[in-house]
Structure 1
Amino acid sequence: MTTTPAGSPATPRQKLLLLDFDGTVCLGDDPVLHYAAQVDALLAERGRTAHDDGGVRAVVAGALAAGDLQVPAPPEGTPAQDGYQLVQRLGRARGLSAEETGVAFRAGREALLAVGLQRSDVHAPAGLAALLAEIRPAAAVVLVTNSPATAFAPWLEALGLTGAFDAVVNDAGKPAGLPAALEAALEEARRGAGVEHIAETQVLSIGDIWENDLAPVAARGGTTVLIDRFAAGIGSPDHRVPDLAAAAPILRDWAAAPDADV
């Protein structure tokens, strides 16, 4: 896990805003579909393609187009919360290990970079850069992502978010790695804010996967905002919204409040 400072305002801040990357800061279905294509390639290498549904990419593409990740029924008991989770589950159900789906995820990123992010549908939520600039005087802003640090800068550049964060925590290994990533983010925020302590109750985390992005923060008394694009209904966040635009007023109120309880 690496942290990369991105520069921060000099004013003291005693709050921390954590943001997930895929599905929160980085939108677009092309990264998911490239991941799915790499899962199909691994399955083909292992001779595990005896399905009549066209493969993982075809299934996921159809689910995303329909806006329903439960088509077909999920291979696990709880609904998939985003396309990445659906790809992983389908790959695992067809015989890949967690390590192999991780390899496919990284290969999908590399493949999309080779094509060119400018030729993809990758984009940031409208107004995000301005929103973060508005919040940063009150709160340190840290991006926490499972994406590798290698070749990550082009993603931020394509999204128009270079320099938008006080720090970036890559290779976070969520969900298991989120507690450690939270500690790293707190340390980066304390250093950037120029204060000795940022209380865990002064942390707000926003993301689209409950167990990956929010549950450990909730357990420590922080505020959680779940972007539930596909209405999976999982988890118990303080706020559940369909997209980041709906979350913007919540983030502004939290940043402006004397504490994180909004």
Structure 2
Amino acid sequence: MVCDVLPTLVLDFDGTVCVGDAPVRRYADEVLRHVEPGLAGELAEELLRNLDGGTIYADGYGAVARIAGPHVVPEVLHTAYQASRGALAGRALDIATPAGLPGFLASLHGRARRVLVTNAPDTGIAESLDVLDLTDVIDEVRTNAGKPGGFDVLLPELLGGAPPASLLSVGDIWVNDIAPPLHAGCATAYISRTPHDGRPAHLRAEHLPDLYAGIAAWVDDPASLPHLSTVSLENQT
């Protein structure tokens, strides 16, 4: 029986610990450079509407891919994304972290294992964590995670035989960050940008700082969060 293993706090990167739309706007700019001039202005306006808070897509990167992607060859999306991550690595983009996050994560030292899990490549992650003052409060970084499907392998690795409830996943994209851990019986904390989003999570708030108290309570007692039925998860989108 595992009894002395620290609980594992899994944190997403883009939109969770790293906020600000500069990286996705750089991505959009790079894609639009390859769009026919007659379409570029119209697509730019539609992208701006979505990036300024009216998006129907899971995140800004998805909005760019869905709106501008059909008008470029697939390689452009990959190259543009790599360019945006390169700009992060070069510390050329304005990014921020939610209020109080470095201090909050520091308070969990020795109480929880703090793991960053992101679909992003290595490029720009270390530099961004340094800019955000998070380098010393993250214990482990997993890049190229391939969420949601990648959690099938990652969760057993991260749990290492510990009970599922001893892992809590925090993120802003329900399908990627919340659904797989919830299916596996883990705890979840959802940063829900939409007031009427009824998809299940143990903790939810519009902003990460509003989740700190609940996360801290879970760290102190991983069995404290209520059980959530996963029977209907397959019908959630």
TM-score normalised by length of structure 1: 0.75
Distance 1:96 1:234 in 2: 36
Distance 1:176-1:37 versus aligned 2 partners, 3 A rule: farther
- Trace 1:64-213 onto structure 2 (pairs within 5 A): 64-65=51-52, 67-69=53-55, 79-94=56-71, 96-97=73-74, 101-114=77-90, 116-117=91-92, 120-187=93-160, 197-213=161-177
The alpha-carbon deviation at position 50 of structure 1 amounts to 4.9
Unmatched runs of 5 consecutive residues or more in structure 1: 1-11, 70-78, 188-196
Provide the C-alpha distance between the structure 2 equivalents of 1:258 and 1:184, rounded to a whole number of angstroms.
18
Aligned to 1:24: 16
Matches of 1:100 and 1:144, distance apart in 2: 25
Q: Note if contact 1:143-1:167 (Cα within 8 Å) is conserved in structure 2.
A: yes
Q: Which has the higher contact order (CA 8 A, sep 6+)?
A: 1
Q: 1:37, 1:108 within 8 Å by CA — same for their partners in 2?
A: no
- Local SS of the residue matching 1:109: helix
Matched to 1:51, the amino acid is: L
Q: Residue 166 of structure 2 contacts residue 186 of structure 2 at CA under 8 Å; is this kept in 1? A: yes
Choose from 28, 31, 41 the match for 1:36.
28
Partner Cα separation in structure 1 for residue 205 and residue 131 of structure 2: 25
What is the CA RMSD across the aligned residues, in angstroms?
Answer: 2.4
| Contact 2:89 2:123 survives alignment (8 Å) | no
1:51 pairs, out of 28, 39, 58, with: 39
Amino acid at match of 2:199: G
- Range with bigger deviation, 247-256 or 224-233: 224-233
Q: SS at the partner of 1:253?
A: helix
TM superposition shift of 1:156: 0.6
State the alpha-carbon separation in 2 of the partners of residues 169 and 68 from structure 1.
31
One-letter code of the match for 1:241? A
Structure-2 separation of matches of 1:40 and 1:52: 6
Deviation of 1:103 (Å): 3.6
In the other structure, the counterpart of 1:244 is: 208
Q: Sort the Cα spacing of 1:177 and 1:104 in 2 relative to 1 into closer, same or farther, 3 A.
A: farther
Change (3 A) 1:163 1:232: farther
Gaps of 5+ in 2: 227-237
**Are the counterparts in 2 of residues 204 and 260 from structure 1 also a CA contact under 8 Å?**
no
Displacement of 1:124 after TM fit? 0.8
SS of aligned partner of 1:143:
strand
- Report the CA distance between 1:237 and its aligned residue: 1.8
Question: Given that residues 33 and 60 in structure 1 are in contact (C-alpha distance below 8 angstroms), is that contact kept between their aligned partners in structure 2?
Answer: no
Task: Give the drift of 1:81.
Answer: 2.8
**Residue of structure 2 equivalent to 1:4:** none
Q: Aligned equivalents of 2:76 and 2:180: distance in 1?
A: 26
Give the 3 Å change call, closer, same or farther, for CA 260–204 of structure 1 in structure 2: farther
Deviation at 1:87, TM superposition (A): 1.7
Evaluate the alpha carbon distance shift between residue 236 and residue 94 of structure 1 in structure 2; reply closer, same or farther with a 3 A threshold: farther
Give the alignment's TM-score, normalised by structure 2. Answer: 0.82
Q: Please report how far the alpha carbon of residue 238 of structure 1 lies from its aligned counterpart in structure 2 after TM superposition.
A: 2.2
Shift of 1:88: 2.4
Task: Note the C-alpha offset of 1:140.
Answer: 1.1
Structure 1 CA distance for aligned equivalents of residues 209 and 73 of structure 2: 36
Instruction: Tell me, in whole angstroms, the C-alpha distance in 2 between the residues paired with 1:52 and 1:166.
Output: 43
Kindly, what percent of the aligned residue pairs are identical?
34
Q: Does 2:202 correspond to 1:214?
A: no
CA contact (8 A) 1:138 1:255 kept: yes
Q: Is the 8 A contact 2:43 2:68 kept in 1?
A: no
In 2, distance between residues paired with 1:219 and 1:39? 35
Q: Distance in 2 between matches of 1:169 and 1:37?
A: 28
Query: Cα distance, 1:230 vs. partner?
Result: 4.5
